[in-house]
Amino acid sequence: MKMENETAIVTGSTSGIGKKIVELFLMEGCKVAICSRTEPKVNQTLAEFKEKFGDSVIGAPCDVSDPIAVKSLVDKTIESFGSVRILVANAGVNLTYGPFQYLSLDKVNSDAKTMIGINLIGVINSVAAALPYMIKQTYGRVITLAGGGANRPVEHMTIYSASKGGVLAFSKCLAEEFKKNENDIKINSFFPGMINTNLYKAQVIEAWKDKKTHEREMELVKKYVMTDIEKSCGTVIPYALPTCKKNGESFRGFSVMKLIKGFKKLSKELKQMRADNSE
């Protein structure tokens, strides 16, 4: 087991990618603290993991957009495990999917507050709460979740992408500060690939005229370009270990070649589907 002496917090870990990372860490002997906003989901996830991994897992409801809640999760982790050596700042949401121009000003404003508040400020809060302990112990591995649109343009998730671009910039800039001192603290960002989780339940914008087409196309996207969650999340482990010397980098949980092949198949079917529709 590679993580027997490790302690971690994984935020947003009652479903999807966060939950899978927790499972993989626990399997490697790591002690892990989990959280999400929803108490029953935290309790249910804790019960599932405790059955297999006993006291190696703790958890609490915690909204990462609230700095006090995050600080209290970090304190609880230190109390239970004696340290926090790894932080996976994973919690994230996508509220809407579709062209920005179809969103009303009110909707843009409320979506932006929520998505930036959780995806970006939530990451900043989590890092800020854990960092003093990491500095004290002169050691830490921080992994932040980047995602679609963070480093190249993608359509239809503009506000989400803006939050992820912010996460990437924040992570790289913070890593720069730790290159200059003797602490063994590394901050890297994870691009998991497209993984079929609750994130894809984002509301498709009602007023968008291509909504129906999009929904059909999404089925094909799920068929051809989704990444396997277990393989993807497995790539996080090397970045969480003392042997990781990378800092300020981003890493992928998917194979670019496989993705290109998937997109080729996808575009062939989409062409056919569009031709059929125009007949």
Ligand X SMILES: NC(=O)c1ccc[n+]([C@@H]2O[C@H](COP(=O)([O-])OP(=O)(O)OC[C@H]3O[C@@H](n4cnc5c(N)ncnc54)[C@H](OP(=O)(O)O)[C@@H]3O)[C@@H](O)[C@H]2O)c1
- The answer to whether the CB of 28 falls within 8 A of the CB of 237 is yes
Complex with ligand X: residue 17 or 86, whichever CB lies closer:
17
12 Rama class: left (phi>0) / alpha (psi -120 to 50) / beta: left
Residue 244 CB, nearest distance to ligand X (Å)? Answer: 20
Q: How far apart are CA 82 and CA 148, in angstroms?
A: 36
**3-state class (DSSP) for residue 190:** strand
Question: Is 17 within 8 Å of 192 (Cβ atoms)?
Answer: yes
Least distance between ligand X and beta carbon 90 (Å): 5
Which residues bind to ligand X, rule: CB under 6 A? 11-18, 35-38, 41, 62-65, 90-93, 118, 122, 145, 147-148, 192, 194-195, 197-199
Closer of 153 and 276 to ligand X (Cβ): 153
In terms of CB distance, is 112 or 135 closer to ligand X? 112
Provide the minimum distance between the beta carbon of 20 and ligand X in the complex, in angstroms, as a whole number: 8
Min dist. Cβ of residue 198 to ligand X (A) = 3
Nearer to ligand X, 66 or 184 (CB): 66
**First CA to last CA across the chain, in angstroms?**
59
Q: How far is the CB of 224 from ligand X (least distance, A)?
A: 14
Query: Is 70 or 131 the residue whose CB approaches ligand X more closely?
Result: 70
CB-count burial class (<10 Å; 0-12, 13-18, 19+) for 264: exposed
Q: What gap in Å lies between CA 219 and CA 216, rounded to an integer? A: 5
**Using the 8-state DSSP alphabet, how is residue 156 labeled?**
S
Shortest distance in whole angstroms from residue 24 CB to ligand X: 14
φ, ψ of residue 245 in degrees (nearest 5): -110, 0
Q: Residue 16 or 262: which CB sits closer to ligand X?
A: 16
